[in-house]
């Protein structure tokens, strides 16, 4: 076990020490890190735990906060069938992520030892380590489950009894997930489309003995915690947060949206060179004309999907910048390729970028007007922060549930697709992009994003939620009870 940063050993009576333990996906680690920074800003100490490779890939800590945040590296145990050097979902094709979860479960002993050694006031953990709540309780440490998923997604999944398979209402086939569940008492369209749930059904309910299902892990994480933290706000989804309190029968504490503190937190020399090249291209494009295309660290379109996206971008006639991942780690043998002659035909108007792209900096650029995205919540928050039109193309996990809520609120438009297999055409891509970027029909979506923007990035609102969280942590820690 190795730590980076040395927090002061002296400790104020009012100072908290919190251990953060996210799942090994950057869509989880980054919100956990942003929450850590906000806690440290208030003068409290954080121990952030992950594996060596992931710690090394995290954005650099601001100098004023690094004395309060200790980054601890725990080596990832080897698991059978897990490719060498894979420490995060970004390193793996989707079908091998279950082996990463098996390796992650082997961290029980070292994380228990760390909690014993550091005696924190609180442990804040993710959905995957469903075993951590009972460990913390046995050690006399308060623990909270931090959901990077919004309240609407959590409500759709259901109470812990349903998630753990003991509360009736069991959903056993994909079709069961395409309608709002009975415990949602108000009208809503928040549910998966058939193709969305089919893509993740094996993980959602578990189809073998090799791993715990995602639903079971979520249920265990909720069942074993003292409080649930949600990346949300009462201003945005009040009915869902109130419902969550009812179905969980636990304290629900929204923590705001955790927008990254700065667009410049990745500023080493290599990143600056990459950004300089991207910025030079963006600077030549008209204001709010460019579609930024990116599908997060986990999703990778199939060859057929990639072809339709590319030809749709070409047909749209719009300038675009595409952050394209052709391979998910060395174990990914299904390489995808752009259509023949595509890059030549769109030269000058479109740019395909196949190495790491600084998303925040790109979205903050004036020439970018829209974002064709997978609907991952971090990407949605970043797009709203910079008032970009949202065009959605979902792939995995809870993305479909996010999309339904955004569609309901007329904040985003989804590319039309076949409900059963998720297929879409180049024409539907082109038409969706034009509608949202320049069409009159897209005006209401663009205006609604502008309207809600202040709520998502307002520092006073974020501060209010952070003070509320820390007050709760101070008054409900087990050591004082």
- The pLDDT tens digits of the residues spanning 214-229 come to 889 999 999 999 999 9
244 or 208, which is more confident: 244
Given this model, what pLDDT does residue 269 score? 46
- Tell me how far apart the alpha carbons of residues 299 and 10 are, in angstroms, rounded to a whole number: 44
Confidence of residue 14 (pLDDT cuts 50, 70, 90): low
Count Cα atoms within 13 angstroms, Cβ side, for 48. 32
- Tell me how far apart the alpha carbons of residues 392 and 116 are, in angstroms, rounded to a whole number: 44
Confidence of residue 266 (pLDDT cuts 50, 70, 90): very low
The helices-and-strands tally (H runs, E runs) of the chain is 19, 14
Given this model, what pLDDT does residue 316 score? 95
Given this model, what pLDDT does residue 212 score? 84
**Residue 2 pLDDT greater than 80, yes or no:** no
Q: Rounded to the nearest 10 degrees, how much is the dihedral formed by the CA atoms of 396, 398, 401, 405?
A: -110
- Tell me how far apart the alpha carbons of residues 48 and 28 are, in angstroms, rounded to a whole number: 13
Largest CA distance in the chain: 68
What's the predicted TM-score (pTM) here? 0.90
**Residue 480 pLDDT greater than 90, yes or no:** no
Given this model, what pLDDT does residue 265 score? 42
Given this model, what pLDDT does residue 374 score? 94
**Residue 339 pLDDT greater than 70, yes or no:** yes
- Tell me how far apart the alpha carbons of residues 293 and 316 are, in angstroms, rounded to a whole number: 13
Lowest pLDDT segment from 162-166, 202-206, 272-276, 427-431: 202-206
Given this model, what pLDDT does residue 204 score? 79
> What percent of the chain stands above pLDDT 70?
91
Given this model, what pLDDT does residue 261 score? 66
Report the candidate in 218, 222, 154 with the shortest Cα–Cα distance to residue 183: 154
Residue 207 in contact with residue 418, Cβ under 8 Å? Answer: no
Residue 282 in contact with residue 362, Cβ under 8 Å? Answer: yes
Given this model, what pLDDT does residue 74 score? 96
By three-state DSSP, how is residue 206 classified? coil
Euclidean distance between the first and the last CA atom of the chain, given in angstroms as a whole number: 31
Both tokens of 191, joined, read 């549910």
Mean pLDDT of the chain: 89
């Amino acid at each position: 076990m190795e730590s980076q940063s040395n927090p002061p050993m002296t400790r104020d009576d009012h100072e908290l020490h919190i251990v953060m333990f996210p799942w090994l996906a950057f869509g989880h680690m980054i919100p956990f890190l942003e929450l850590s920074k906000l806690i440290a800003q208030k003068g409290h100490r954080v121990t952030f735990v992950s594996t060596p490779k992931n710690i090394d890939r995290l954005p650099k800590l601001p100098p004023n906060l690094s004395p309060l945040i200790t980054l601890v590296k725990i080596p990832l145990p080897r698991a059978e069938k897990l490719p060498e050097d894979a420490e995060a979902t970004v390193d793996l094709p989707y079908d091998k992520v279950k082996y990463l979860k098996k390796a992650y479960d082997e961290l029980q002993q070292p994380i228990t030892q760390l909690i014993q050694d550091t005696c924190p006031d609180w442990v804040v953990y993710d959905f995957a380590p469903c075993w951590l709540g009972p460990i913390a309780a046995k050690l006399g440490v308060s623990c909270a489950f931090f959901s990077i998923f919004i309240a609407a997604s959590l409500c759709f999944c259901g109470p812990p009894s349903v998630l753990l398979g003991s509360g009736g209402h069991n959903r056993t086939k994909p079709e069961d997930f395409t309608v709002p569940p009975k415990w949602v008492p108000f009208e809503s369209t928040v549910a998966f489309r058939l193709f969305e749930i089919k893509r993740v059904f094996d993980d959602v309910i578990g189809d073998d003995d090799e791993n715990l299902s995602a639903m079971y892990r979520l249920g265990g994480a909720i069942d074993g915690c003292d409080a649930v933290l949600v990346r949300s706000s009462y201003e945005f989804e009040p009915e869902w947060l109130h419902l969550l309190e009812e179905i969980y029968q636990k304290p629900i504490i929204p923590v705001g949206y955790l927008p990254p503190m700065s667009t410049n937190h990745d500023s080493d020399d290599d990143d600056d060179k990459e950004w300089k090249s991207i910025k030079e291209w963006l600077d030549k494009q008209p204001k709010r004309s460019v579609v930024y295309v990116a599908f997060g660290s986990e999703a990778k379109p199939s060859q057929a999907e990639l072809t339709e996206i590319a030809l749709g971008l070409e047909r749209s006639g719009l300038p675009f910048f595409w952050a394209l991942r052709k391979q998910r780690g060395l174990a990914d043998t299904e390489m995808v390729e752009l259509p023949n002659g595509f890059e030549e035909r769109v030269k000058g108007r479109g740019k395909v970028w196949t190495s790491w792209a600084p998303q925040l900096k790109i979205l903050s650029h004036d020439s970018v007007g829209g974002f064709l995205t997978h609907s991952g919540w971090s990407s949605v928050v970043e797009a709203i922060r910079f008032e970009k039109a949202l065009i959605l193309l979902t792939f995995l996990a809870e993305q479909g549930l996010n999309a339904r809520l955004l569609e309901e609120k007329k904040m985003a438009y989804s590319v039309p697709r076949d409900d059963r297999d998720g297929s879409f055409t180049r024409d539907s891509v082109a038409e969706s992009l034009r509608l949202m970027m320049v069409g009159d029909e897209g005006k209401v979506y663009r205006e609604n994003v502008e309207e809600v923007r202040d709520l998502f990035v307002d520092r006073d609102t974020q501060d209010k939620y952070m003070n509320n969280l820390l007050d709760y942590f101070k008054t409900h820690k087990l050591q004082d009870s």
